[in-house]
Each structure stands twice: as structure tokens, then as C-alpha cells.
Chains A and B, each alone.
Chain A
Amino acid sequence: MFAYIARRIVYVIPIVISVALVCFLLVHITPGDPLVAVLPADASQELAAQLRSAYGFDRPLPVQFGLWLWRAVHGDLGNSIATGRPVLSEVMRAVGNTVMLAIAAAMIGFTLGLLFGLIAGYFRDTWIDKVSTSFAIAGVSLPHYWLGMVMVIIFSVQLNWLPAVGAGPGGSGAWAWDWEHLRYLILPAITTSVIPMGIVTRTVRALTGDILSQDFVEALRAKGLRETEVFRHVVKNAAPTALAVMGLQLGYMLGGSILIETVFSWPGSGLLLNSAIFQRDLPLLQGTILVLALFFVLLNLLVDIAQAAIDPRIKRS
């Protein structure tokens, strides 16, 4: 097991470096002035040149990349141009809020997904299956940002039950686990949960159906094994794949939250990314993308290891 883990970790290192390079290049192929956030259009050219060298944007790209990577390894992603605050702390605080949203959404989406999936798999081709699969397919086909908007229309604008935007009456800094704050989490969490719900349902349905249709299940049943035992068997065999899918979905929720966070002004990494893009704040942009991608890589690694721990066959492949 340790050998496997070590091998996986070694394998991740070149990926991480390539990911950093992609982040850096993405941001630097960009046309436009990186100092647009601190340099008004009416500033003189002299001032612009002075600032460009003060920020180090006049150096060759490989040098800038080297410096950035070197500092990043030491836990310093530089300072945001627009706010002057350290990028790392900005990103980590935002990621914290995204994690909160993702976990809430995962609890809703995974629970419903497992439930629908198991039921549909057990009762294949009955009306229950049809209803569950319809939910699932609707879930994966919904433009979730649109769903968010529709939910705001219904629950905030028309019924005035839930707040439309934000993370609590005092912002995420004053977050508390009470109803007054949780109200703010409901709409974005439900919206975020729809896709994972659909995907988990479909996965679990397929897995359950496949396992139940295998010959040896019939044999077990014929031998008089109780249904609870059969169920345990299903869970045991479906778990590795289901876990992998859920891990991946959690990663997507962390990294792909920009649309939902924009709809709900949720102060997470997606909203941060959005403002970094539109303010052309290069250090913040490349830092945010890097941290999110690294989270995703790490999550994939953990899923792989967890999968291998549950199902030893995987290690060999």
C-alpha cells in the first residue's frame, strides 16, 4: 500500500509543475495591460513605465515564471494588483467559502443521488426507475446558473422566503451556524447539488443494476441468502466506483463554482476568479487557478488512494 501511495505521489509531481506552467502561460498570453487595475487610462506613459518596472512586468517571461514558481513553492503567490493583499490568503479564504458550499451541496446531492440510484437500480424498468432516471437526466442537463436564477425568481422575488444573494447578513466573516445564516446557503447549495445528484444517480443505478444482474447474485438468492445480505454485497461492490465518481464531483464543485457563485454573489473562489478576470488582476488570476487546480489534483490523488484501500485489485493495474 505504501509503495502504491508513494508511486502515485511521485507521479503527481510532474503534473503539478505542468499545471503551474499552464496557469502561468494562460494568464500571460493575455492581451492587455496587466496594470489596468492601478493605472487609470489618463495616466501618463512615463508613469505607466515606472509602475510596470515597479511590479516587475518588464522582465522576460521565463524569469517571471521562475520567480513566481520559486515563491509559490515557499507559500507566496504574490500580492493582488488591485487590492495589494497577499493572493494566498485571499484565495484560501475564498476557497473556504466554496468548500462550505460544496459540502452542503454534496450532502444534498450525494444523499439523493445514492437514494435514487439504489432504488432505480433495484427496481429497474419500473415506474420508480423511470422517475429517478428522469430526475437524474434533468439534473445533468440543467444549466445550473439558470436554475439558480429561476430559484431566485421564485423564492426570493416572488415569495420573498429566502435571500437572493450573499453569505449571511454579515458576510462570510461573520458566519454562524444558525438559521439566520443558513438561509443564505439554501438556494446556492440546492442549485449546486443538482448536477452531482444526477451523475451519482446514474452511476449508482448502473452499478446496482449490473451487480444484481450477475449470475452469482441469483445463485446467492437461490441459496436462500437474505435480501440484506444481497444489499451488503451490492454496496461493497459498488462502493469503489461510486466513491471515485463522488470524489470527482466534489472536485468539480470546488473548481467549477464560478457560475453559481456569480448568480448568488457567494464570496467563494469562483467569485474571486470572476473579479480577477474582469479586473485583469494577473497575480490573483494565476494564483486562484493554480490553487483550484492543485485542490483538484490532490482530491484525485486521495480518491485513487481510497479506492485502492477499499479494492486491492486496483493497485495492480
Chain B
Amino acid sequence: MSVLSDAALQAPPTAKARGYWATVGRRIARDKVSMACAFILALIFAAALLAPWLHLADPYQGSMIRRLRHIGTPNYPLGTDELGRDMLARLIYGGRLSLIVGILPVILAFVIGTSLGLVAGYVGGKLNTAIMRTVDVFYAFPSVLLAIAISGALGAGIVNSIVSLTIVFVPQITRVAESVTTGVRNMDFVEAARASGAGPFTIMRVHMLGNVLGPIFVYATGLISVSMILAAGLSFLGLGTKPPEPEWGLMLNTLRTAIYVNPWVAALPGAMIFAVSICFNLLSDGMRSAMDIRN
């Protein structure tokens, strides 16, 4: 965690944003691992997005006679699940919900947490204390416990798991945003802007956002992997998506009864979660080192 934020705090030293981002872009493009990950993620996103046009089997249509077919069965390249539904179709359709439930909380938390952190960091004083002490309370819970406690209280459901994960991530992003903002606020170029008569709103919008967003963004991409795992974990416990919707965590849960009959089909949804999660992690690493000008 601290490694992540330490590196994330390596803010671009000057406000010459365009040249900086171009350099970063070039550096990422040269990183083979990051590019491979980006490609895999793009593939998974495209498949999930275009699922209805891929001529897949109906992910909801089951059949008692073709339950738990093995991987490689003709017509069912990835086998069938415990209700005889096509695994390939369910994995691809499942990506839609899994990606939404995994990524949306991070986006929401990014928006909310950045706003809170910017305000706290820029305004300082009592407002800072109020925001940051509230954040501390949520930090007193291990994130998995907090997510499960909130979901357990709100009850199962997609919206509820998005809400609970957002609540888990907001404090983390707020903290990063606040510390970056505080750091940037005292830098020369902000002082200069202030001296030239720019109002606080303009300063926050033009100068700070640009220099602050980068590190927070990198931090947030790192959270996507955690969020994917947690979101699927909630469904795996029965606190997330409800059947019969295809979703990777839930599929993993319902297929557990099949591990004696067809173990590797049962393991497939987890492999998808793993793939997405590791790709986001590697991509986030790649971005971070691309933004780290020292190297």
C-alpha cells in the first residue's frame, strides 16, 4: 500500500503537462507487458460489449440433459454449467456485470474521493480535519470486512455491492488526493498563479487538477484489480449479483457443487477474474513507471 502511494506521489514536477503526457504515452507504448495487458483487456471489454452480436448460445437457456459438459465438447467449447448453460456465453456475458461491478465503484470513488481530497487539501483547516477524521474512521476497518459488513447490512444485489465497494474506496482515494493536493499547493507555480491574481477556483481547476489527477489516476487503476476481486468475492459469498444473472463471482459460487464432476469448468470463472485483475495490475505498474521520470 505504501509503495503504491509513494510512487503515486511522484507528481510531475512542472506544469508543462502536454510534453510530459506525450513522453509518458511513448514510454508505455514501448512497454511490451503493458501493451499485452492492454490488448487482453481490450479484447475482454470488446467481447463483453459486443456479446449480443457474437452469435453465442443463450446464456440463460439451460437444459437438464446437457449439464456439466467438459471443456472441448463439440458446440460447447468451454463446457456447460450446472444447469446446462453454455459456459463460453456465460463467461462473455458474465464479463458485462463483473466488469461493471468491478470498475464502476472505482470510478465513483475516484470522482467522490478526488473532490473530497482536493477540497480538504486546498482549503485545509477545520474542513480538512472534518473530512480526514471521517476518513480515518473508515480506515479503521480492513477493506474486505468493511465491504462485507456493508453488503451484509444492505442485502444482496448489484446496486448494493457497487455502493458498498464505493464506500470502501472513497476514503483511500481521498487520502491520496488530499496528500497530493497539500504537496502541490505549496509548490512554486501555485504560488505564482496566486500572486498573479488567479482566484482559488481557477487555481484548483487549472493548475492543481492537472498535477494532482495523474497520481490519483494511477492509484485508482491499481484499485480496479482489488475491486474486481472484491466484487466477485461478494457475489461468491451470495452478497452480490443474484441468480440467474451471469457474473463471474456468482458463477464460481454456483459451480462449486460441480467440482467433483467437472472441476476445470468450475474453475473457469475464477480464471477470468484473475486475468482481468492481473492485467489491470500490470497496466497500472506500467503506467506508474512510465510516469516516474527518474528512471
Contact = CB atoms under 8 A, between A and B. Distances in A.
On whether A and B touch (CB less than 8 Å), the answer reads yes
Interface of A: 14-16, 18-19, 22-23, 26-27, 29-32, 137-138, 140-147, 149-150, 152-153, 157-158, 199, 202-203, 206, 241, 244-245, 248, 251-252, 254-256, 258-259, 262, 273-274, 277-278, 285, 289, 292-293, 296-297, 300
Contact of A255 (B141, B153, B282): B141
A256 B266 contact: no
B140 to A, nearest CB: 5
A262 B152 CA distance: 15
9 contacts: A15-B137, A137-B278, A144-B229, A145-B233, A203-B2, A248-B1, A252-B144, A255-B142, A256-B145
Nearest to B7: A206
B236 interface: yes
Given A147-B270, A252-B142, 15 more contacts: A15-B136, A18-B137, A137-B281, A141-B281, A142-B229, A143-B252, A150-B270, A158-B263, A203-B3, A206-B7, A259-B233, A259-B236, A289-B141, A292-B142, A300-B140
Contacts of B148: 258, 273, 277
Contact of B267 (A26, A144, A149, A285): A149
Interface of B: 1-3, 6-7, 133, 136-138, 140-145, 148-150, 152-155, 225, 229, 232-233, 236-239, 252, 256, 259-260, 263-264, 266-267, 269-271, 273-274, 277-278, 280-282, 285
Contacts, number: 141
Given A26-B153, A146-B252, A259-B236, A202 B3 contact: yes
B274 A254 contact: no
B153 A30 contact: yes
Given A143-B270, A146-B252, A157 B263 contact: yes
Majority-rule SS of B interface residues: helix
Contact of A153 (B138, B259, B282): B259
Closest 6 CB pairs of A and B: A146-B270, A256-B144, A255-B142, A141-B278, A277-B152, A255-B145
Given A30-B155, A137-B282, A252-B144, A143 B274 contact: yes
Contact of A289 (B145, B155, B229, B236): B145
Given A146-B274, A245-B1, A252-B143, A141 B225 contact: yes
